Structure 1
Amino acid sequence: MNAISRFMIAGAALALAGCSALPGANLGGTFTAESYLGASIEGGDFNSALAREYQALAARSATKEVNWMDATAYVAKSQQAAMGGADPWTDAELGVVAQAGLYDELVSTVAAHRAARPAECAKAQAMWDQYLESLTATSGACLNTDDALAMLQEALAACRGVSGDFVVYFGFDRSDLTAAGRQVIEQVVEALKSYSAPLVSVVGHTDTVGSVAYNQRLSERRANTVANAILARAKAEGLTPPTITTAGRSELELAVPTPDNVREPRNRRATIAISQ
Structure 2
Amino acid sequence: MNRILGIAGVAAACLALAACGTRLETARTVVPSGTDFDTALYGEYIELSQFEYGESDYGDSDYYADRAIMVAKGEAVEPTAMDARMLPAGTEGDLSNARQRLAAALASGAKQGSPKPAARAQAMFDCWMEQQEENRQPAHIAMCREEFEKAMAQLQPMKKPDAKSYRVYFAHDSNFLDQAAEETIANAAKAFGMDGFANVALYGYTDTSGDVTYNEDLAARRAAAVKGALEARGVPASAIKMSVRGEFNLPKPTADGVKEQSNRLVIIRMAP
TM range (shorter): 0.3 to 0.5
**Structure with the greater alpha carbon radius of gyration:** 2
Query: What is the TM-score of this pair, normalised by structure 2?
Result: 0.46
Query: What is the TM-score of this pair, normalised by structure 1?
Result: 0.46
